[in-house]
């Protein structure tokens, strides 16, 4: 019986590598033999795991920062990149009715979740096309299919990036475009959001459901391993990868395809207690 094939080493750029899914994925890619460029808003927050990891400072919402970051990566990788993992992101929790008139919260979320990844991908595409197996992984969310109340901007941003990824699969078939959709994953993602007041009714109840789900969720390692498989495998990776516990990854992910919209929305209202 022959030994299983080892993962193919790759040159990989991953955004948001200082914490959570990004940090875990950077470590897993290094363990698989990859050379990794990891980004963070603050270079000092990035780990220093060895010579195959390159720290890159990147403010996702700034075009100037994207160009400067890419110039560093392009020089260090010699103009050939095998994979780009667009992982960096954040969330905002709050009611739509409380947003300012020019929907600033929505604009800010789209800058981080949609326009930032698209801008970086544009810069990296020529280098990716020099690879024998170029892969772009866009880390979206199951929230793009099953939206979260009081996180409308986040849900919409993830859905937009998911649809963008699907469209690029049609028009740029020389690159593997993969939409990785995590469900609830146990990270410190919620810690960066402002919790609603205790007397805020439905908002507070939804927040408490989210907190409980995150505490019981699988660790970031499960997403990292799924991304490593996509990046380091052979042949064409699956176009969409849903990651989470059995209920979310298998059952909930299928619900939008088979349930009437009213039934689905009723289930979500009951789940989030709104």
Is residue 77 within 8 Å of residue 12, measured between CB atoms? no
Rounded Cα distance between 202 and 246, Å, is: 27
Rounded Cα distance between 254 and 235, Å, is: 26
What angle separates helix 202-215 from helix 261-272, to the nearest 10 degrees?
A: 90
Is residue 43 within 8 Å of residue 67, measured between CB atoms? no
What's the first-to-final CA gap in the chain, in angstroms? 56
Handedness of CA 70, 72, 75, 80 (dihedral sign): negative
Q: Could you tell me how many residues make up the chain?
A: 274
C-alpha closest to that of 58 among 127, 137, 119, 147: 119
Question: Taking the mean position of all CA atoms in its chain, how far away is CA 106?
Answer: 18
- Give one DSSP letter per residue of 30-96, joined into a string: HHTT-EEEEEESSGGGS----TTEEEEE--TT-HHHHHHHHHHHHHHHTT--SEEEE---------G
Give the active site residue among 154, 177, 189, 272: 154
Quick check: is 272 catalytic?
Answer: no
Residue 252 CB partners (closer than 8 Å, separation 6+): 142, 146, 183, 244
CA count, 13 A, side-chain hemisphere, 251: 6
Positions marked active-site: 154
């Amino acid at each position: 019986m022959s030994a299983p094939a080892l993962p193919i080493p790759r040159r990989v750029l991953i955004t948001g590598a200082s914490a959570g899914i990004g940090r875990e994925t950077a470590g897993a890619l290094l363990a698989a033999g990859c050379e990794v460029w990891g980004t963070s808003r603050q270079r000092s927050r990035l780990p220093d795991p060895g010579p195959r990891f390159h720290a890159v400072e990147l403010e996702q919402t700034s075009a100037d920062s994207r160009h400067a970051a890419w110039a560093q990566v392009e020089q260090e990788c010699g103009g050939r990149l095998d994979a780009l993992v667009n992982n960096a992101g954040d969330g905002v929790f709050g009611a739509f009715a409380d947003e300012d008139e020019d929907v600033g919260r929505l604009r800010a979320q789209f800058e981080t979740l949609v326009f930032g990844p698209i801008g970086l991908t544009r810069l990296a595409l020529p280098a990716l096309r020099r690879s024998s197996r170029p892969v772009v992984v866009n880390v979206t969310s199951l929230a793009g299919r099953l939206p979260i109340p009081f996180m409308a901007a986040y849900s919409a941003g993830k859905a937009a990036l998911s649809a963008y990824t699907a469209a690029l699969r049609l028009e740029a078939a020389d690159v593997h475009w993969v939409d990785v959709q995590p469900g609830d994953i146990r990270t410190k993602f919620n810690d960066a959001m402002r919790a609603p007041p205790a007397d805020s009714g439905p908002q507070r109840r939804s927040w408490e459901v989210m907190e409980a789900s995150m505490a019981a969720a699988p660790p970031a390692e499960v997403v990292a391993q799924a991304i490593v498989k996509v990046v380091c495998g052979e042949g064409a990776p699956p176009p969409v990868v849903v990651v989470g516990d059995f209920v979310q990854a298998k059952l909930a992910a299928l619900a939008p395809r088979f349930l009437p919209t009213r039934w689905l929305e009723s289930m979500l209202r009951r789940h989030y207690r709104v």
